[in-house]
Structure 1
Amino acid sequence: MNTALKITAFAAGLATVFGTSYGLGHVTGSTSTKPSTAAHAGHGSAAEPSDPGGGGASADAGRLPGGLQISERGYTLSLGDPYVTAGAPIDLRFRILGADGKPVTAYRPAHGKELHLIVAPRDLSSFQHLHPTRAADGTWRASADLPAAGEYRVFADFTPAGASQGLTLGADLHAAGDLRPVPPARTGRTVTVDGYRVTLTGDLTPGRSTRLSLAVAKDGRPVTDLQPYLGAYGHLVALRVGDLAYLHVHPDGEPGDAGTAPGPDITFTTTAPSRGGYRLFLDFRHEGVVRTAAFTVNATEGPADSATPSPSASASASASAGHEGEHRH
């Protein structure tokens, strides 16, 4: 079978998986009671209010998780050219169109940026968190690396000017080449990135608010001088394996709030919308370099202990080192 047929067959299979995702629940964001969390709440459609009764269930459970739709609330993500060639950096161009069909040119910044762009292949073997530049006509541009052929998902996380709530739109990017999909990496709860060891504690429980803590160490010693990156000591993006439902959460607390230490622990509160596997991508900055640690975690039914990993919850991890050139501003 030639390359074009391989990619066509793979895309058809993904369309079937994607189509089954629409009945699943909504992903919620951080529910920390610290004042800093309120500043995070408008960032992306994943930031939804939680159940005031403390159960952790989404207050808007009927909505889809972020990133599954190319159009939502009158806004549409329009890629300039969704058909590219893998193996070399590409000039990715796109626009956010309003209900009138015109490009949006005014945004409300979140964490110092008007728009956060995530690019990941459907097999979740890599991850890029980019910050594109916008021209006056509303066209966004970013250089993206597509190391392998396959189907990629592009997520635009933004808040239009005047809107009370942000949203995340997703679109498919098709990269031609020799398609060799791989399953998500499965190793353990500790990941090594450029000599740094990142350890994950905590489990995901479907429909319930749970806490995840990620501790950073280097040369056997805890890192206690993490540097702020986009206004926080760490950023976490979670993608559901199978359909890439998107969750962009933020840590409990922020630099300068008098209650958040610069490491070694970065803590997040989040809710998984369903059972299944999730890829967690943590960006952290130390000694002037942004690095990414990636974990694969299963969300299983039952109570989760926020302090001790459940022995029944399997977790795996992989890591990729990201330099400033891969976290473009």
Structure 2
Amino acid sequence: MNEEKIRKIVYELTQNARIRTKELGTQARISQQSASYILQSLEKQHLIIGRSTIIDSAKFGYVNVLVYCNYTTFDSQRQKEIIQYLQEQDQVVMIEEIKQGYDLKVWFGVPNLSSFNKTKRAFLQNCKDKIIVMETFPVVVKHIYPRKYLISKKIFSEKVIAGDRDVIDINPLEMKVLKDLWVNPNHSIVEISQTTALNPKTIVKIKKNMQEKKIVRGYTAFFDLEKLGITKQYLLFSSEDLSLEEDAKLLHFCFIHPQVISLTKLIGTYDLLIETESDERTKKDVLKDFRTEFGFKKYKVLQGGRIIKDTYLPKSALE
């Protein structure tokens, strides 16, 4: 398959995982037939790991906590048991295997920090002598950016989630549609109608309203980056020496930087988490860019790996 076409398809799917092949072809500037073939090939080769509806958990009154863990066992079966346990936990909304720096990145979505503490204690008790928590960071806000490095045209936008948001009342019909999109982000309007017994026109209206109220921030796909030749790196920084002016400059710097795909503000020893991606064509020393521009002295570099789970919101929040 043509690498440039694949990059365009990957970009479009990360921007909108619900996109249909006709529009996918139009956006990628290839034929619908070619877009359909590439999409089927990516799925057949298991390069597309999954799809997610980006739901802002703050709209439900939930807070997020980021936890980094290290295994204390090197037995592969016991490590699989830990992963299986975490996958089954509703309040664990994201799991990623980290290649360098730590072993696991786990993102919790909880009603409050007391609930998180109980969940974490249960996790450590269940996985006793198998894993240790290395770092815990309550999340302040997350900015999500397009994967600009994948395409030649300049695209600048952002989605902001997990910040200080007013909790929104969601009616039963909205909850029905949202629950279906949580389970099946790629469901067509007709398929949602079959699941919810709602009229397709009603579903279109509800879906639009939830996007306007910023409950749903979009739909994305996640991939086997290693097989695609893409490297993911996380940069943890301490920004304690940054002025308010420099903080605003940092936000803009991340907004326009082609390799930066997200910026998360944290509470803890490190209070900035910058997520970057690049391929052989666009490889760059992003750490040097940030240290040169902002003079960061305290930092940590992590090598990202395979995403195992990514749901943004516990399913129980939709019950």
TM-score by length of 1: 0.24
Q: Which has more helix, going by share of residues?
A: 2
Instruction: Identify which of structures 1 and 2 has the higher relative contact order when contacts are C-alpha pairs closer than 8 Å and 6+ apart.
Output: 2
Q: Which has the larger radius of gyration?
A: 2
TM-score by length of 2: 0.25
